[in-house]
Amino acid sequence: MSEETSHDDMLFNILRECKTLPTFMDRIFGFLKRRSDFYVVASSPDCPVGLPPGVAQALVQQSYMKYVYSNTSKSSTERPKTEKTEITQPSPTKSHSTHKADPSKCHNGATFDNYSWSQTYNEVDLFLKLPLNVTSRDLVVNTNGTSICVKLKDGTVLLQGDLCCTCKLDLIWSIDAQELLVHLEKYKETWWNCFLTTEPILDVSKLECTKPFEDLPEDAQAKIHELQWNQEQKRLGLPTSDEINSINTLKKAWNAEGSPFSGPFDPSSVSFK
């Protein structure tokens, strides 16, 4: 196993737990933020902590471009020109936000001045900014399945409106870093084109509509595992599952009565097409 692929199994398990690529990337960069000086800008060229200005961004760009061209033709010696562009969260409608959106908090959803929302095929998450010093004891969070209301116990409404579609009544909510997270389970598996009916409508045809691995049928999961195993077998120069089945079938027929083969079993003497 090469150094490049030595952590594939571990990273695949993390990706499977994260369910979506934006969440996976958020976990990776969050780890770099918490456990390294990747986001620290060095105060001087001789500073042992941090990176010089612009180096962190350049490292990310370099890693991305490395694998963009890894599958291009070896005979091609000229790479297409690239331009430095600003990366923004794609949105089918005009953004109302005045701050940069966290991709994991508006995946397949949207972001606004005081809240963001994201969704999978059967769940919705709301991320609402809270006033300073607000705790869980100060909040009332309710839904009747068709609308939602978040307010303080003194009556101040923080968010209220009709939901795009019906959700189940057993919502879960928590507070982290002055932000309220509300987790809703959709009553029907479908893509929402908004969270509140007062929002601009999303074009659901542009959403990432892949299902999480765990939500796929067992036969589909088994097929994916088989494809991954076959890919690894090919990389190691070993037979794939189809080739193993063909060899086993040939072995049974080799010494069968009336078999055209003779001598010790030698699958290399037969060509499989």
Q: Is the pLDDT of residue 252 over 50?
A: yes
Distances (CA, A) of 93 to 49, 84, 171, 192: 41, 24, 28, 14
Nearest-angstrom CA–CA distance, 115 and 80: 39
Q: Output the average pLDDT for the chain.
A: 77
Nearest-angstrom CA–CA distance, 226 and 241: 8
For 38-92, what is each residue's pLDDT tens digit? Answer: 887 777 665 566 677 777 877 787 677 666 544 443 333 333 333 333 333 333 3
3-state secondary structure 187-206: CCCCCCCCCECCCCCCCHHH
Binned at pLDDT 50, 70 and 90, residue 141 comes out as very high
Mean pLDDT of 12-16: 87
Q: Is the pLDDT of residue 118 over 80?
A: yes
On whether the CB atoms of residues 115 and 159 are closer than 8 A, the answer is yes
Q: Is the pLDDT of residue 196 over 80?
A: yes
What's the pTM value of the predicted model, to 2 decimals? Answer: 0.46
Question: Lowest-pLDDT range, 47-56, 80-89, 182-191, 264-273?
Answer: 80-89
- Least Cα distance to 148 among 182, 113, 119 occurs for 182
Question: Lowest-pLDDT range, 64-73, 129-138, 237-246?
Answer: 64-73
Question: Lowest-pLDDT range, 8-22, 95-109, 192-206?
Answer: 95-109
On whether the CB atoms of residues 145 and 128 are closer than 8 A, the answer is no
Q: Is the pLDDT of residue 106 over 80?
A: yes
For 24-50, what is each residue's pLDDT tens digit? Answer: 888 889 888 887 778 877 776 655 666
Q: Is the pLDDT of residue 203 over 70?
A: yes
| Matching residue, tokens 């500073």 | 47
Name the residue with higher pLDDT: 35 or 186: 186
Q: Is the pLDDT of residue 98 over 50?
A: no
| C-alpha neighbours within 13 Å on the C-beta side of residue 95 | 17
Domain residue spans of the chain: 20-67, 103-211
Listed ranges 10-14, 131-135, 212-216, 252-256; the one with the highest mean pLDDT: 131-135
Binned at pLDDT 50, 70 and 90, residue 111 comes out as very high
Mean pLDDT of 2-6: 73
What's 103-211's CATH class?
mainly beta
Binned at pLDDT 50, 70 and 90, residue 214 comes out as low
Name the residue with higher pLDDT: 104 or 128: 128
DSSP type of residue 103? G
Q: Is the pLDDT of residue 188 over 50?
A: yes
